[in-house]
Amino acid sequence: MQKKIRVLYTIPNFDTAGSGKSVYDLVNGLDRSIFEPEICCFHNKGAFFKEVEKLDVKIHIFSFTTKYTPKASFIFRVLKIKKFFKTHNFDLIHSWHWSSDISEPLAAKLAGIPYVYTKKAMGWGNKYWSWRSKLSKKVIVVNQDMIEQYFSNMAHKIVKFPLAIDTNRYRPNGFESPISKTTYFKTEDFVILSIANLVAVKGIEILFQAVEKLNDERIKVLIVGNDTNDYGVDLKQRYASNKNIVFAGKQLEVRPFLDLADLFVIPTKDEGRREGIPNAPLEAMATNCVVLGSNVSGVKDILKEFPDCLFQASNVDELAEKILWIKTMSEAKRQSLGEAMRKQVIKEFSIEEFLKNHERLYLSMVN
What digits encode the pLDDT tens for the residues 185-244? 999 999 999 999 888 989 999 999 999 999 999 999 999 999 999 999 999 999 988 999
Backbone angles phi, psi at 93, to 5 degrees: -120, 125
**Given this model, what pLDDT does residue 54 score?**
93
pLDDT of 132 > 60? The answer is yes
State the pLDDT confidence band at 165, using cuts at 50, 70 and 90.
confident
Burial of 32 (0-12, 13-18, 19+ CB in 10 A): exposed
Rounded to a whole number of angstroms, the distance between the first and last alpha carbons of the chain is 17
Half-sphere exposure of 352 (CA within 13 A, CB side): 7
Q: Which CATH code fits 181-348?
A: 3.40.50.2000
May I ask the CATH architecture of the domain 5-164+350-366? Answer: 3-Layer(aba) Sandwich (3.40)
Strand ordering across the sheet containing 35-41? 59-61, 35-41, 5-10, 92-95, 115-119, 138-141, 158-160
- The whole model's pTM is what? 0.82
SS3 121: coil
**Taking the mean position of all CA atoms in its chain, how far away is CA 364?**
26
Most confident of 33-42, 138-147, 158-167, 196-205: 33-42
> Could you tell me which residues come within 8 angstroms of residue 264 by beta carbon, excluding any fewer than 6 positions away?
192, 193, 194, 195, 258, 280, 281, 284, 285, 289, 290, 291, 292
User: What stretch(es) of the chain map to CATH 3.40.50.2000?
Assistant: 5-164+350-366, 181-348
Omega before residue 70 within 30° of 0, cis: yes
pLDDT grade for 123, boundaries at 50, 70 and 90: confident
User: What amino acid is encoded at 185 in this protein?
Assistant: F
Position 272 scores a pLDDT of 65
Highest-confidence range of 9-18, 124-133, 331-340, by mean pLDDT? 331-340
The average pLDDT across 343-361 equals 94
Alpha helices in the chain, H assignment, sequence order: 18-29, 47-53, 74-87, 103-111, 128-135, 144-150, 181-184, 204-214, 230-238, 255-258, 279-286, 299-302, 316-327, 331-348, 351-366
DSSP string, 155-175: GGGEEE----B-TTTS-TT-S
- 181: helix, coil or strand? helix
d(CA 310, CA 294): 5
* C-alpha pair distances (Å), 185 with each of 177, 188, 257, 325, 344: 15, 8, 12, 21, 30
Q: Taking 90 as the threshold, does the pLDDT of residue 95 lie above it?
A: yes
Encode 140-158: b = buried (16+ Cβ within 10 Å), e = exposed.
bbbbebbbeebbeeeeeeb
> What is the C-alpha separation between 198 and 280, in angstroms, rounded?
13
Q: What is the mean pLDDT of residues 38-57?
A: 92
Please give the pLDDT value at position 135: 97
pLDDT for res 180: 87
Nearest alpha carbon to residue 365 among 140, 144, 142: 140
Residue predicted with more confidence, 11 or 21: 11
Report, as an integer, the average pLDDT of 132-147.
94
CB 228 within 8 A of CB 199: no
> What is the arithmetic mean of pLDDT over 160-183?
87
| Residue 247: pLDDT band with limits 50, 70, 90 | very high
Give the H or E element holding residue 38.
strand 35-41
Rounded distance, CA 31 to CA 283, Å? Answer: 24
Span of 26-35, 39-48, 82-91, 109-118 with lowest mean pLDDT: 39-48
Mean pLDDT over 71-80 rounds to 97
Q: Look at residue 223 in the predicted model and tell me its pLDDT.
A: 97
What average pLDDT is seen over the chain? 93
Other residues' Cβ atoms within 10 Å of the Cβ of residue 139 = 23
Please determine, for residue 271, whether its predicted confidence score (pLDDT) is greater than 90: no
pLDDT tens column, 283-327: 999 999 999 999 999 999 999 999 999 999 999 999 999 999 999
Indicate whether 258 pLDDT > 80.
Answer: yes
Q: For residue 274, what pLDDT band results from cuts at 50, 70 and 90?
A: low
Given a cut of 80, whether residue 174 has pLDDT beyond it is no
What band does 19 get if pLDDT is binned at 50, 70 and 90?
Answer: confident
